[in-house]
Amino acid sequence: MILEKSAAEKGILQMEADMFYKTEHQFVFEAIVSVMARFKACDILLLAQEMMRLDTERTVAMNGAYFVTLLSSQVASVGNFDYHLMIVKQKYLMREFIRRSSEMIEIAYDESTDPEELITDLQKLNGFMMQQMYAQERTLSMKELIPQVFEKYYQRQTRSAGNELPGISSGIDKLDFLIGGWDQSTLNVIAARPGMGKTSFILHLALQAVRKEKKALIFSLEMDAVQIGGRILQGQSGVDAGEFRLGILDDTGIRTLETVSDSLVDLPLYINDTPLQSIAQIRNVALKMKNKTGLDILFIDYLQLIDMRHKNRNYNREQEVAAVTRELKILSKELEIPIILLSQLNRSNERRDNKRPLMSDLRDSGSIEQDADTVLMLYRPFYYSRHDDDKGKMLVDLVKNRNGNSSEVWIRHNDTMTEFWV
């Protein structure tokens, strides 16, 4: 039996050696792949020689030439090649399902197991099965890749002609020009010291997104949902923040709130205020919403309040943060949405004459810089200088931009930091 290159392209490249149950068959498959790579075709003689080259002792022990001849004699032709591959893959998937399910049952008996983590493992198993059954081979040649690059470019060109962004708008034109909006499958970190307006800023970003009919979810790990809703309502209505907080608005103020609330109630903005959530819990909530109502962008306020307790109890704080940012990057790709992650900075900038934050000020981790597609630092000079000239100014410092240039964007805000504009 001679196996041509075209037959391999149909299925062999989607197979792996461990999909075969017997170790002898795994070894033969490895040799077939090696022969195909070297000679673009495979027959019994080439295969036997390749097995000897890869592992002479093992080939002699299993009587390699006779073994592959016997295997070949059991197949009449390669006409059913795809069907045979499908059988091998199905048997492999059933074995893997049994093995992984058994492991989860054992974990479930452990009283220290977090049910949320068990649910996450179950979802990962489901994702693995679906991917193995339906996913196409992801290794692309340049001949296959370049047309897709042009297709994506022309899609962006069409959107640009209609004054649309590739990603979700931030509502800040200069920033949108630099990053093209929040692109899908990206992790975007917004970092600042306390008092810089991180939460206010992402509320602005979230409102900009939902007003463009995008569905947004905010995980507020610090403030409760009613507080967040109050800040949104007060900010959008323009009523006095102090009077709103103290409950002393006059009838005109109340009517203003009621009028503005009518424009807010139907916005597709959702807030989850469960404190100290783990990545497993965040993932489960986001995945549920993605499947139930749809989800276009996810905000997390903020990184250091995520429950980072890891299965490996020997992890230090930096390793825990690294695990979290890595999982969030994977989640952005899994959900195919941008994730906006707030992060605290350490106190290093406050010991410098120039208080502007630097990338090195990111708290607890260098992995944030590594995993993030964009990193933005927020800085309000008035917080430190108290000069009237600095009042209402905010620097959005784009210190990392994986797909473009770094730059500075100066914007302005009102006294209550509920509105931002260039």
Among 197, 100, 237, 99, CA closest to 396 = 197
Indicate if 154 and 49 belong to the same structural domain. no
Domain boundary among 78, 109, 134: 134
pLDDT at 111: 82
Indicate if 82 and 157 belong to the same structural domain. no
The C-alpha R_g of the chain, in whole angstroms, comes to: 28
Q: What is the pLDDT of residues 43-86, one digit of tens each?
A: 888 888 888 888 889 889 998 888 888 888 777 666 677 777 77
Indicate if 149 and 242 belong to the same structural domain. no
pLDDT at 77: 66
Indicate if 291 and 370 belong to the same structural domain. yes
Read off φ and ψ for residue 224, nearest 5 degrees: -80, 165
List the domain range (segments joined by +) for residue 154.
140-167
| String of DSSP letters for 83-152 | HHHHHHHHHHHHHHHHHHHHHHHHHHH-TT--HHHHHHHHHHHHHHHHHHHHPPP----HHHHHHHHHHH
Indicate if 120 and 66 belong to the same structural domain. yes
pLDDT at 299: 97
pLDDT at 83: 76
Indicate if 198 and 123 belong to the same structural domain. no
Instruction: Please check whether residue 327 is in contact with residue 310, taking contact to mean a CB–CB distance below 8 angstroms.
Output: no
Indicate if 127 and 144 belong to the same structural domain. no
Indicate if 275 and 417 belong to the same structural domain. yes
Residue numbers in the chain where pLDDT is lower than 70? 1-14, 76-79, 131-140, 310-314, 363-366
Indicate if 159 and 200 belong to the same structural domain. no
The enclosing domain of 197 has a CATH number of: 3.40.50.300
The enclosing domain of 30 has a CATH number of: 1.10.860.10
Indicate if 101 and 156 belong to the same structural domain. no
Indicate if 186 and 154 belong to the same structural domain. no
pLDDT at 136: 54
Q: For the chain, how many structural domains are there in total?
A: 3
pLDDT at 129: 76
Indicate if 64 and 156 belong to the same structural domain. no
Among 360, 368, 280, CA closest to 318 = 368
Instruction: Please check whether residue 189 is in contact with residue 375, taking contact to mean a CB–CB distance below 8 angstroms.
Output: yes
pLDDT at 313: 64
Is the pTM higher than 0.85? The answer reads no
pLDDT at 152: 79
